Amino acid sequence: MEFELNCPVPMRHDTIQLAHGGGGRIMRELLEKVMLPAFSNEALDARHDSALLEMGGSRVAFTTDTYVVNPRFFPGGNIGKLAVYGTVNDLAMGGAKPKFLSVGLILEEGYAIEELRRVVEAMRTAAAECGVQIVTGDTKVVDKGKGDGVFINTAGIGLVPEGVNIGPHRVQPGDAVLVSGDVGRHGIAVMSVREGLAFETPIESDCAPVHRLASALLEGGVDVHCMRDPTRGGLASVLNEIATDAQVGVEAVESAIPVEEGVAGACEMLGLDPLYVACEGRMVVFVPGEQAVKAVGLLRSVTGGEGAVRIGTVTAEDKGTVFLRTSLGTKRILDLLSGEQLPRIC
């Protein structure tokens, strides 16, 4: 189907660049200038990880995501696990109980069926672990060279319990910002395999479902204002997205943000900032300041949340901006990157 944009806003690039998928400003621009004007509606414009829909008296969360990771198998996970956890996590970030997934596979001619079996098996066990069923699917095959082994799309639906109201619109000054564990592991784990970088201790991806962490908060009576999983673009990008969408400021404390030693070392070597590196088993949570201690306690009581900490506070000033309090006590902007981070020369 073709559609015409009434008002084509000029874009900086006339062809798609890798940075358009990088989670930074250039990707945001693509969404705002091409996708949102075409599709705009109330559910989409809420711009949450999953759309909230009222259907037949139920509140349903609906989301979709596509997985194109290279390498397909990496320390701590693989593309199959990611495809299930990622969509489960996007549902959970809307406060939903994940229920059903669809799976669309794009396979490249020549791809080994043995590996496909391993991917499918990983999806089966991941779905069982999360208590979701894969109930519909589709398979397409493209010519050799037109794909990269396997691309996976999953969509998911879940039910949002009565009384749950989560989204950037609820974030307000005074809220505490929490993170459920150390950041940057997934990105570095994948990069170390892709680039053949060997570190003394292999870095494992944090690839995991976070829906139990989300349930622990909601069932424990925490008035969660917003949750988001810091995937592409990492923690810094999530904080920026929420600051912009909620029109608040965020002040994070650098020394409070947990980064595993191996990840910090790898980032130093490559000239990357771990705050922009993807996680696949973490969540960022905004809760009322007075509930921060309780929320951290609840997160820590669940497997995968042992490393939960408070990293910052929402402020009324500097709307749309994230500040970082450095280890020297100075304050600087924690910006949204343009595209992906690039390794430095020296």
Partner 1 sequence: MKFLDEYRDGEAAKRFVEAIHHEVTKPWNLMEVCGGQTHSIVRFGIDELLPKFINLIHGPGCPVCVTPVELIDKAVDIAARPNVIFCSFGDMLRVPGTKSDLFGVKSRGGDVRIVYSPLDCLKVAEENPGKQVVFFAVGFETTAPANAMSVFEAKRRGLTNYSILVSHVLVPPALEAVLSSPQRRVDGFIAAGHVCTIMGTREYEPLVEKYKVPIVVAGFEPLDLLQAIHMLVKQLEEGRHEVENQYERLVREDGNRPAQDLIKAVFEVRDRAWRGIGTIPKSGWGLRAEYADYDAELRFDVKDVGGPESTECMSGLVLQGIIKPHECPAFGTRCTPDNPLGATMVSNEGACAAYYRYRRHEAK
Number of residues binding to partner 1, judged by CB under 8 A: 37
Residue nearer to partner 1 on the CB measure, 92 or 263: 263
| DSSP state for residue 21 in the 8-state scheme | G
Q: Which of 195, 200, 201, 303 binds partner 1 (CB under 8 A)?
A: 195
Measured from the CB of residue 198, what is the shortest distance to partner 1 in angstroms? 12
Question: Distances from the Cα of 149 to the Cαs of 71, 102, 115, 190, in angstroms?
Answer: 10, 20, 9, 16
Q: Taking the alpha carbons of 197, 202, 207, 210 in that order, is the dihedral positive or negative?
A: negative
Q: Which of 110, 140, 271, 306 binds partner 1 (CB under 8 A)?
A: 271
Binding mask 16-55 vs partner 1 (x if CB under 8 A, - otherwise)? xxxx-----xx--x--------------------------
Report which of 65, 116, 61, 60 is spatially closest to residue 86, judged by C-alpha positions.
65
Q: Give the SS3 label for residue 250.
A: strand
Question: Between vectors from CA 105 to CA 102 and to CA 108, what angle results, nearest 5°?
Answer: 180
Name the one range near partner 1 by CB under 8 A: 7-15, 145-153, 217-225, 280-288.
7-15
Residue nearer to partner 1 on the CB measure, 107 or 142: 142
Sites for partner 1 among residues 241-270 (CB under 8 A): 261, 264-265, 268, 270
> Which distant-in-sequence residues (6+ apart) come within 8 Å of 252 by Cβ?
177, 239, 311, 312, 322, 323, 324, 325, 334
Measured from the CB of residue 268, what is the shortest distance to partner 1 in angstroms? 6
Measured from the CB of residue 318, what is the shortest distance to partner 1 in angstroms? 7
Measured from the CB of residue 33, what is the shortest distance to partner 1 in angstroms? 13
Q: Alpha carbon 46 to chain centroid distance? A: 16
Q: Does 344 contact partner 1 by CB under 8 A?
A: yes
Residue nearer to partner 1 on the CB measure, 95 or 234: 234
**Residue with tokens 């589709």, as numbered in its chain:** 138
Binding mask 295-324 vs partner 1 (x if CB under 8 A, - otherwise)? -----------------------x--x---
Residue nearer to partner 1 on the CB measure, 69 or 208: 69
Question: Distances from the Cα of 73 to the Cαs of 176, 197, 280, in angstroms?
Answer: 36, 15, 14
Q: Alpha carbon 123 to chain centroid distance? A: 19
> Which distant-in-sequence residues (6+ apart) come within 8 Å of 233 by Cβ?
22, 23, 24, 276, 278, 336, 337
Measured from the CB of residue 14, what is the shortest distance to partner 1 in angstroms? 10
Burial annotation 202-214 (CB, 10 A radius, 16+ → b, else e): ebbbbbbbbbebb
Measured from the CB of residue 68, what is the shortest distance to partner 1 in angstroms? 16
Binding residues (CB under 8 A) for partner 1: these are 12-13, 15-19, 25-26, 29, 195, 197, 261, 264-265, 268, 270-271, 318, 321, 326-333, 335, 337-339, 342-346
